[in-house]
Amino acid sequence: MQGSAFVPGHITGFFEIFDDSDPVKAGSKGSGLVLDKGVYTTVKVKEGSGISILLNGEPCDCPVTKDAVDDILKITGTRFNVEVLHELEVPMKYGFGASGAGAFGATLATSRALDLNLTMNQCGAIAHRAEVLNRTGLGDVIAQSVGGLVIRTKPGAPGTGGTDKIFSDKHVLVFIVGDEMETKPILLDKTKREKINAIGGECLRKLLKDPTPENFLGLSKKFAVETGLMDEKLYSAVETLEKKDIIASMSMLGNCVFTLTDEPERVRKYLDYLYIIADIDYTGARILV
Amino acid sequence: MQGSAFVPGHITGFFEIFDDSDPVKAGSKGSGLVLDKGVYTTVKVKEGSGISILLNGEPCDCPVTKDAVDDILKITGTRFNVEVLHELEVPMKYGFGASGAGAFGATLATSRALDLNLTMNQCGAIAHRAEVLNRTGLGDVIAQSVGGLVIRTKPGAPGTGGTDKIFSDKHVLVFIVGDEMETKPILLDKTKREKINAIGGECLRKLLKDPTPENFLGLSKKFAVETGLMDEKLYSAVETLEKKDIIASMSMLGNCVFTLTDEPERVRKYLDYLYIIADIDYTGARILV
């Protein structure tokens, strides 16, 4: 028994944290870009027990994926041996929502493999819950469920939170500027959280008043600078692009610089970093054949 | 100044009506299929005043489109001459949500033509409002905004109502069995409304307990038969398919029979009616270049 799914990557531009004792209601508001590059997941199920996970062919603990698969197996009330194969088109720990994409894809693919017929929101809630409890993400899964330049207007999992979409046909260009970043310590730091929430809330109000791609980029930069999350190296990269009249910001939470452009092949030459060119994915998470 | 949009067709399987003095909150719950065939709309704006609409090249009153464009022009506070060109891949008055697709597409395309940067939900709310006030539809627009085999869990416009999605990779096959049908008289008939609401509510509860494509088809048939909306000719066509072990139902509100199948080219031969083969569209309404 086998199932496959694709879940797009998601770059958050800014966010505001909302706690709740119910992880399905907890999450964040904010805004971000859903990419047509993400995580492909295949799940193979047979008799037996245990969950093994391979990430680009290498064994991986992948606790968020493991928790999500554990949760979905509880629904069946039966033990199975589950093999999860993640193939990533985006890097881990660089603010692409890879952990959420992996867990969400594993849930969709397991539902298909076991003919559980779970809906989008049921799979999304399982993945969102695993993200919140592992403190690896707060808003990626709901954005990934709908696709687009997503505004998250109400926190929570798919089916609980609320979203809207801005239209843009520009390409997404992302530069890998610094090292890997862990989301968890930032989400647990009280001072950082207070700054994030004050500035994130302000950015959302301003985006809703003028919901354009350019305003999204500008507010993302404001957020990254004013929260102190953007370091010198990232700031310098963003400044280099600004001198060419290109508004750019930092992926949340990762050491990447991103922008929207009609000319990714021209703009990529302005910085000497590894880069990824993608389009906005307007479809969102999906089960493959 | 010009803009274009595609909005998919939507076949409702069953529904329950919810009234509200605010048309953005009014609408329906239920379930239906969003198709990769729908309505392409181009809007051309120039100085002057007046709205002219062409439907497949022919002048058309198209009141729902007209009301939606009127509403969007009010936002600008300026007069314009607007030409709306609708190209339909699905028939009008056969339960494909063509009026909603036209109004939604006109809103998206006008927003693009005038650089208004309206969001998906803002455009959707304008189109949904025009549908509700004209009594031409209650749930097509929100389904068209998300795509999929959509369950509408909360009535209202995009951004107000709630949705979930069932996954299916089967093809959609629709037979044009009877004559055109007007939605308005049915939505205004008190006895019909009471039946629709009692049976539609029951069908939704049963679908949420077992959200599979097959259950969707079976409940749609139950709804069409028990509400008395399915006439003899449609019933006979559905029976013919059932004898071949194919569950089929009637589009709401139109004289069409639809089913989901892996083999549309085989199944279409079982009935001697005009037919349309489509896939489920999982992306939803979108602005084109």
- CA B273 – CA B250 distance, rounded (Å): 14
- In this model, does residue A179 exceed pLDDT 90? no
pLDDT digits (tens, 9 = 90+) for A96-131: 999 999 999 999 999 999 999 999 999 999 999 999
- CA B210 – CA A117 distance, rounded (Å): 8
- In this model, does residue B35 exceed pLDDT 90? yes
pLDDT digits (tens, 9 = 90+) for B130-175: 999 999 999 999 999 999 999 999 999 999 999 999 999 999 999 9
A282–B284: do the CB atoms touch at under 8 Å? yes
Mean pLDDT of B46-61: 96
Residues of B in contact with A121 (CB under 8 A): 164-165
pLDDT for position A276: 97
Residue spans of alpha helices (H) in B44-84: 63-76
Mean pLDDT of B123-136: 97
pLDDT for position A118: 97
* B36 in contact with chain A, both atoms CB, cutoff 8 A: no
B166–A121: do the CB atoms touch at under 8 Å? no
For tokens 């051309």, the residue is: B44
Q: Residue A67 carries which side chain, given as an amino acid letter?
A: D
pLDDT digits (tens, 9 = 90+) for A212-252: 999 999 999 999 999 999 999 999 999 999 999 999 999 99
pLDDT for position A185: 84
- CA B144 – CA B103 distance, rounded (Å): 11
Minimal C-alpha gap between A164 and chain B (Å): 6
Annotated domain spans of chain A: 1-289
Task: Give, in degrees to the nearest 5, the angle at Cα B156 between B2 and B6.
Answer: 25
pLDDT for position B180: 86
Average pLDDT, chain B: 96
Residue B80: both structure tokens together: 């314009």
- The β-bridge relationship of strands B162-166 and B149-154 is antiparallel
How crowded is residue B231: how many other Cβ atoms within 10 Å of its Cβ? 14
B165–A119: do the CB atoms touch at under 8 Å? yes
> Of A17, A24, A20, A105, which is closest to residue A64 (Cα–Cα)?
A105
- In this model, does residue B278 exceed pLDDT 90? yes
Max Cα separation, chain A?
60
Interface of B with A in 129-168 (CB under 8 A): 146-148, 151, 153, 159, 162, 164-167
Interface of A with B in 107-136 (CB under 8 A): 108, 112, 117-122
pLDDT for position A68: 98
pLDDT level of residue B185 (50, 70, 90 thresholds): confident
pLDDT level of residue A183 (50, 70, 90 thresholds): confident
Residues of A in contact with B122 (CB under 8 A): 164
The 3 state secondary structure assigned to B120-138 is HHHHHHHHHHHHHHHCCCC
A289–B169: do the CB atoms touch at under 8 Å? yes
Max Cα separation, chain B?
60
Which residue of chain B has the CA closest to A157? B164
pLDDT level of residue A21 (50, 70, 90 thresholds): very high
ipTM score here? 0.94
Task: Name the CA radius of gyration of chain A, rounded.
Answer: 18
> Of A146, A145, A187, A185, which is closest to residue A17 (Cα–Cα)?
A187
- In this model, does residue B289 exceed pLDDT 80? no
Quick one: fold of A1-289? Answer: Ribosomal Protein S5; domain 2 (3.30.230)
Minimal C-alpha gap between A277 and chain B (Å): 19
A282–B287: do the CB atoms touch at under 8 Å? no
Among the partner-chain residues A159, A165, A286, the one whose CB lies closest to the CB of B119 is: A165
Among the partner-chain residues A108, A164, A169, the one whose CB lies closest to the CB of B120 is: A164
A164–B284: do the CB atoms touch at under 8 Å? no
pLDDT level of residue B184 (50, 70, 90 thresholds): confident
Burial of A83 from C-beta contacts in 10 A (0-12 / 13-18 / 19+): middle
Q: At what angle do helices B213-226 and B232-242 cross, to 10 degrees?
A: 150
Average pLDDT, chain A: 96
State CA A25 to chain mean position distance.
17
List the single range of A7-11, B140-144, B177-181 with lowest mean pLDDT: B177-181
pLDDT digits (tens, 9 = 90+) for B74-84: 988 889 999 99
